[in-house]
Structure 1
Amino acid sequence: MTSARSRTPVQRITGEPAYVLHRYDWSESSLILDVFTRHHGRVALVAKGAKRPYSQLRSALLPFQRLAVAFSVREEEGGEVHTLKAAEWAGGAAMLTGAALLTGFYLNELLMKLLARADPHPRLFDAYAATLPSLRGPEREVQRALRAFELLLLRELGVLPELDVVTLTQASVSDETVYRVHGDAGVMEAPAGEPGVPGRVLRSLERALQAWPVTGGPADVQQACEAALPELKAALRPLLHYHLGTSVLRTRQLLIELLPP
């Protein structure tokens, strides 16, 4: 007699580009992985036996390493955790270390908290892959990469307003006027004497963000961020907090505690 489970359709995904965002112990020998894939979005995978000393998966399932993975999807109710069948290193730079490692985990935490499961974002996947090498660079390059990725993430999610117009009136921003970007009200002129981002920077950022689907990478957005890195950091932090629903990020707290001021 055929069981109900054996009749459940199973889809086999092979050669899927992926990055491990996080890994959890599942048993003495296995792991649960939170994986960002290019065509299937965030997926949860069980890697059976991956902790065993001689497992071929053991050395592959590391964060910030581009992988080609194979997994099976059983289309049944509640089947959110799928089974990893294979994972191979797909090339790329060496493992992040030191401050770059913590900064990379900050990007991973943003993805895990802001992306729904099984919601594909291939452009964002490519932007993430292109951002990782910049995290090894000088501090200014790292800050450009972080601000650009935050902007691209918010735009991809559809929660970043058009930056070259005042949201309420749809009037064009003025180059010399300073603005804030609010989670609920969008772009607004900053009160007199208070910090914000100059309109000319917002215009440049909007042009770069609109070109992103054509250029296919974050380089133009990083360049546009260069003109106002401290201002953008101050502007994007509350915006991210608004959409995250919290002002506490584990990786940001680790950076504060471990790195010198």
Structure 2
Amino acid sequence: MKTAVQQQPAYVLHRRPYRETSLLVEVFSLDAGRMTLVARGANAARSPLKAQLQPFQPLLLDWQGRGDLKTLTQTEVRPGPVLARTQALYSGLYINELLQRLLPVADPQPELFAAYIETLAQLAQTQDLEPVLRRFEAAFADAMGLSFDWAWATDVGEAVAAGGVYGYDPEQGIVSGAAAGVRLQGLPGEVLLALADGDLASPDCRRLAKRVMRTLIDHLLQGRTLNSRALFSQGRGDRR
């Protein structure tokens, strides 16, 4: 039996040609999570869908079909922020690629969807992109079941102490400096405590947060690469 969905808030994560004139469109939707839709005729020269089905564009979508691959039946474009600056655009492509490559299919994540909307708005408004990306990565870690407390060493069940030295493991979170086989070591307790208080302004906090989130993302990728990282390295700075 065919299922039909109407007026579903969604964003395009990626699209690619399909057959002669269609597109396969990967979307992140509020109630259905990540999924792939067939947009029939969308790749034809005169189709308005080619311009409508763009990344970062808020959409209301209708679809129907059986199985995992549904057919897009209606698209409504909604107003939204514009990622006009190069680094903001690269940052948007980075978070899209995280969702496309790592988020399980058909796994609704309404809190992450809300974080995604807020992240796009902030990327369009600010030139200080690092805190925006770190907050989204934290929301993504939570959605993937890998959230952690900056101020708690899980292996010993104790609060982080200023002056102590700690490590980070993606499956455990923050651990004591004595923990064996930890991927990331030498993390100062005072910086972890500052991060627990929400400090993403100081250089030490920014460096440590980026190291930790990079370790977490690499753990999820399991040796695969992110194309968006190459864009950052070609630009003026590496913020992801």
Q: TM-score range by the shorter chain?
A: 0.7 to 0.9
- Taking only the aligned residue pairs, the percentage that are identical comes to 31
- Matched residues in 1 for 2:27 and 2:172: separation? 33
Match of 1:59, SS state, is helix
- Cα RMSD between the aligned structures? 2.2
Specify the alignment match of 1:209 in structure 2: none
Give the partner amino acid of 1:255: F
Shift of residue 231, structure 1, vs aligned partner: 1.5
Cα pair 1:20 1:34 within 8 Å, conserved: yes
1:21-170 paired onto structure 2 within 5 Å: 21-74=13-66, 79-139=67-127, 141-170=128-157
Specify the alignment match of 2:197 in structure 1: 204
Which residues of structure 1 form unaligned runs of 5+? 1-8, 206-223
Give the partner amino acid of 2:60: A
Residues 66/196 of structure 1: CA separation in 2 closer, same or farther (3 Å cut): farther
Shift of residue 161, structure 1, vs aligned partner: 2.7
When the two structures are aligned, how many residues end up with a matched partner? 229
Give the partner amino acid of 1:90: R
Runs of 4+ in 1 over 4 A off after TM superposition: none
Which residues of structure 2 form unaligned runs of 5+? 179-184
- Matched residues in 1 for 2:187 and 2:155: separation? 20
Cα pair 2:90 2:228 within 8 Å, conserved: yes
String of CA shifts for 1:9-63, please: whole Å, max 9, x gaps. 1111011000000001112311000100011000100000012233232221000
Give the partner amino acid of 2:201: E
Shift of residue 166, structure 1, vs aligned partner: 0.7
Aligned with 1:225 (options 175, 200, 214): 200
Match of 1:235, SS state, is helix
2:227 is aligned with 1:250:
yes
Q: What's the TM-score once normalised by structure 1's chain length?
A: 0.80
Further displaced range: 84-93 or 34-43: 84-93
2:164 is aligned with 1:177:
yes
